[in-house]
Amino acid sequence: MTSGWEVARLDELDAIPVADGLVWHPVRRRFGIRSFGVNAYTSEHVGEHVVEDHDESGSGAGGHEELYVVVRGLARFTVGGESVHAPAGTLVFVRDPALRRSAIAEEQGTVVLAIGGEPGQAYRVSPWESYFAAFPALRDGRWDEAIGLMQEGLREHPGNPSILYNLACAEARGGRPLDALLHLQEAVRAKPDYRERARTDPDFELIRREQGFP
């Protein structure tokens, strides 16, 4: 690190598997960027996601317009039901936060950089970052560390149902049944869809018969 600026290579960043072969490389967290969102994504295998299937209107999202830059390899983007092949050097801009978007890696080593922010608003870190950052601790059973990371996200996004639900999962697995029940109830009040999900979620196996379980 130098005074006022910093250099890092993608291969030096954390590589955190998150879902469906998708690997998250937390660029924003690495540099402590607070003025815009930026992250890199790779895929464990050809044919798997290099951008997850999502929109930016959900409770875990930031309502961002997003620019995706294919840095290396070849990806197939699908945005709003339309597909396009995107070799290295391609820029895909999704202006509408409600449009669903995803991308599949079509070559080994494909890298996509995602840059986003909410138009007209000062940047806020998206809620999903706190529970994505907790994934390594969750996989290793380091419950207190995972809970701490999500509590940090909850302080920035009080009452956010996605963070509350994931926090409750970690607390249930980590031997904090009362905290898990309280946070799960709060998540369900904010987003009733979580009620059905919780009934079959294996993370709640140990507290499913507790009084107050949704």
CA–CA separation, 32 and 38 (whole Å): 11
How large is the average pLDDT for residues 115-132? 92
Tell me what percent of the residues of the chain surpass a pLDDT of 90: 88
Q: Tell me, what DSSP letter sits at residue 125?
A: -
Contact 212, 198 (CB under 8 A): no
Q: Is the dihedral of CA 49, 50, 52, 55 positive or negative?
A: negative
Is the domain spanning 128-204 CATH 3.40.1280.10? The answer is: no
Q: Residue 195, exposed/middle/buried by CB under 10 A (0-12, 13-18, 19+)?
A: middle
pLDDT one-digit tens code per residue, 29-46? 999 999 999 999 999 999
Mean pLDDT for the stretch of residues 71-92: 97
The string of DSSP letters for 134-153 reads THHHHHTT-HHHHHHHHHHH
Mean pLDDT (the chain) is 94
pLDDT at 49 over 60: yes
Q: Do 10-117 and 128-204 share a fold?
A: no
Q: Could you say which of 3.30.365.10, 2.60.120.10, 3.30.230.10, 3.30.1330.40 is the CATH number of the domain covering 10-117?
A: 2.60.120.10
Q: What is the pLDDT of residue 1?
A: 53
Question: Looking at residue 212, what is its pLDDT?
Answer: 86
Could you list the beta-strand ranges (E) of the chain: 16-19, 22-25, 37-43, 49-54, 65-72, 74-79, 82-87, 91-94, 101-105, 111-117
Report which of 133, 138, 164 is spatially closest to residue 30, judged by C-alpha positions. Answer: 133
Domain ranges of the chain: 10-117, 128-204
Record the pTM: 0.88
